[in-house]
Amino acid sequence: MEKKINLIASKEEINIRLDVFINKHQKDVSRTRVKNLILDNKVKLNNNIILDPSKKILPGDEIYLEIPEPKKASLKPYDYKLEIVFEDKDLLVLNKPAGIVMHPGAGNYDNTIVNALVNYDKDSLSSIGDELRPGIVHRIDKDTSGLVVIAKNNYTHEHLSNQFNEHTITRIYQLLVWGKLRPSRGRIETYITRSSKNRQMMEVSNSKGKKAITNYETIEVFENKNTPTLSLIECKLETGRTHQIRVHMNYLGHSILGDNKYRKKYKKIKNINLDLENLITNLNRQFLHAKTLGFIHPKKNEEMIFSSILPHDLNIILENLRKLNN
């Protein structure tokens, strides 16, 4: 059922962004959804349709919004075995393998995690936002493996979305990069925007785009005469921008092993161990794994932390490097 809401800004509410104001007064509606409602002509300011989420409001301003009844998507079920790490009546946590996309999109409308979720339990997914993305609160790239949380109802979806927007979610990734980072640990804070040269890629900007913050720490360094120099890194995200870790590592000059989209040229080692060379050559994905995911359970109000070990195709490379570096 469609909801119609009227709000009036108080005398203390001066120069507040429209989307922030609405989210403040409608806690069950995430900032992301508020933004989409504004862009869909569902919000009026003083009886005028507003299309700018960042529009500043003043005391006495009247805000009207319509929240449409969620649409049920018509999605084809995909018979695919999901690796479910945790499940209750409100959410489930998946360990996504590399090679499968999160939701339908151009060129692939059937063989996705969403289609697999529809096959698993089509009636237990949130239905807000994009009708092709039921249950999807956040995403990881097709060729990234690891943990994702799925919402099974709208309350849970909104609550988790707010945690992502407020940057209170714990997200730690493991990755193997070319070279040795100096300093070995640090904080990368930049803006990330869509590339002007390739619209399918992102790039660091001095001022345009969205702020992106990545904290990194070197866990292990591999270097000897029979191996290229590689570093095992852990990255803790404060924000979750598209391709954030891949862009930030490339920005530092240490692109991720296997990342053919964001890569720096490297000097091939003449006497490289053949087994290691084959493993690196045959890796058909980036060495990037969503290792840890933590959040507050929307209904239980308890902190939940989940961890996932490296999949075999990544772990075997590490094992080989460790043998060669002993």
Backbone region of residue 15 per phi and psi (left: phi > 0; alpha: psi in -120 to 50; beta: other values) = left
324 to each of 39, 134, 255, how far by Cα in Å? 55, 46, 22
What is the pairing mode between strands 62-67 and 43-45? antiparallel
Cα–Cα distance between 161 and 30 in angstroms, integer?
6
d(CA 318, CA 313): 9
SS3 at position 298:
coil
CA–centroid distance for 99 within its chain: 16
Q: Please calculate the CA angle 124-146-87 and round it to the nearest 5 degrees.
A: 30
Residue from 141, 143, 259, 313 carrying the catalytic annotation: 141
- Of 301, 293, 309, nearest in space to 150 by CA: 293
- Tell me which residue has tokens 């003043």: 58
Q: 79 an active-site residue? A: no
Question: Which residues participate in catalysis according to the annotation?
Answer: 141
